[in-house]
Amino acid sequence: MAILVTGGAGYIGSHTVVELLEAGLEVVVIDNLCNGSREAVRRVERITGKPVRFVQCDIRDRQGLDALFREHAIEAVIHFAGLKAVGESVGKPLEYYENNVYGTLVLCQAMEAVGVRRMVFSSSATVYGAEAPVPYVETTTRGTTSNPYGTSKAMVETLLEDLVVADKRWSVALLRYFNPIGAHPSGLIGEDPQGIPNNLMPFIAQVAVGRRDELTIFGSDYPTTDGTCERDYLHVVDLAVGHLKALKAVEAPGVSIYNLGTGQGVSVLEMVGSFTRVTGVEVPYRFGDRRPGDLPAFWADASKAAQELGWSAEKSLDEMMADTWRWQSANPQGYAE
Ligand code: NAD
Ligand code: WQD
């Protein structure tokens, strides 16, 4: 029996496939490569020394999914596939709802048809909305999301919860990630955003490697220790390990929700300072306007995952910086070379 990983050619998916294979599990990857790379899958094979079964298919393609489930005996699905750019989602709501919500719906229907009813889903801290008290705790109800991307994650959470209510055989883990960064310590796989990076860490890395002139820090007058926003950055390998642990949680029916974060807030200025201290590479920056929709500061209460899954983030901020730089400096253009 194998684990089906949707979006396994992407950033978090590829790191998770490494952990699954290294734990001795069988894996099938499905990805339409709209934001992932075939090369990432080849590099996962290099890291692990194991072949990866890869199927290029869209999760909205029901016939393709049916064929996949016929061909491979799947016991559970880790579902990463989807679109993730917050800003882009504002201009393309239909694409986001179709990929993220309809795509999940089709995937669940195909799973139901073959009696595979275990899913680990990539949700996001964004579902807490703007009003939730910090640190975010899983018992806080979902808040008002401020963009179609965030709303699509909240909608999928609702969809999966309703599925479990309707059919007690379903088992779902909703993993609410905070800010994953870093790369595999081998330097072979990492984050490879297309175009101008939306997120802080890849932007810093691209400035450091000379692909961009300077970082703009969005806002310097937030009510935080140094005026810049604070986030809970966690190492992508820790996050990947969290999925392995969550597979245990979906052995029992029902819905479980887990924050995956470190429990620590780190400011944008601290991120820049830490990168330079660890790598020795200066990152020129200037302060710009606040980015619409940014919250001043949030981080996880990560105690539930520790208690119930035995998972805690173990890697330090220094390791996140060192591993990001190993990946970026060895692959200045990402997988494109
Ligand atoms: P990513 O874009 O690197 O990976 C997503 C993968 O899904 C890509 O390889 C893409 O080609 C594939 N994909 C997209 N739509 C598809 C479809 N319709 N059919 C098949 N494949 C499809 O993103 P990531 O950073 O690895 O994120 C993985 C998941 O985690 C996403 O669902 C994302 O929303 C969620 N998430 C990410 C973050 C983050 O900061 N990176 C935070 C919280 C949640
Ligand atoms: C972090 C901090 C920016 C870029 C987003 C999504 C969220 C989740 C993770 C998927 C903020 C600042 C950034 C730059 C900057 N994704 N920044 N200059 O906004 O916490 O979360 O990614 O679920 O849903 O909203 O992460 O990396 O974009 O920003 O100053 O060029 O860095 O203002 O304070 P964010 P981020």
Beta strand 266-267 with 230-231 is antiparallel
Distance in angstroms (rounded) separating the CA atoms of residues 274 and 292: 26
Phi, psi of 74 (to 5 degrees): -105, 135
- Written as six digits, the tokens of 131 are 């009003």
Contacts of 330 (CB under 8 A, 6+ apart): 187
Tens-digit pLDDT profile for residues 147-176: 999 999 999 999 999 999 999 999 999 999
- Give distance in angstroms: CA of 316 to centre of ligand 2: 19
Ligand 1 atom closest to Cα of 33? Answer: 11
Q: Tens digit of pLDDT for each residue in 278-302?
A: 999 999 999 999 999 999 999 999 9
Angle 297-301-307 from CA coordinates, rounded to 5°: 165
Query: Which residue's alpha carbon is nearest to atom 30 within ligand 2?
Result: 217
Residue 126 alpha carbon, nearest atom of ligand 2: 24
Domains and CATH numbers, the chain: 2-182+233-262+299-314 (3.40.50.720)
Number of the ligand 1 atom closest to the C-alpha atom of 123: 44
* Residues with C-beta less than 6 Å from any ligand 2 atom: 84, 86, 124, 126, 179, 198-200, 203, 215-218, 229, 231, 268, 291, 294
CB atoms within 10 A of CB 165: 11
| Residue 7, C-beta contacts closer than 8 angstroms, at least 6 positions apart | 13, 30, 31, 36, 79, 80, 81, 82, 122
- Cβ burial, residue 133 (10 Å; 0-12/13-18/19+): exposed
Distance 143 CA to ligand 2 centre (A): 18
By CB neighbour count within 10 A (0-12 exposed, 13-18 middle, 19+ buried), where does 263 fall? middle
Distances (CA, A) of 175 to 101, 119, 124, 218, 305: 16, 11, 7, 28, 10
* CA dist., res. 250 & res. 336, Å (int): 36
Is the bond preceding 202 in cis, omega lying within 30 degrees of 0? no
Mean pLDDT of the 130-139 span: 97
> Within 13 Å, how many C-alpha atoms sit on residue 62's CB side?
9
Nearest CA residue ID for atom 14, ligand 2:
200
pLDDT tens-digit readout, 256-275: 999 999 999 999 999 999 99
149 in catalytic set: yes
pLDDT in tens, 197-245: 999 999 999 999 999 999 999 999 999 999 999 999 999 999 999 999 9
**Quick one: which ligand is closest to 232's CA?**
2
Phi, psi of 29 (to 5 degrees): -105, 135
Quick check: 337 pLDDT over 90?
no
Nearest CA to ligand 2 atom 34: 229
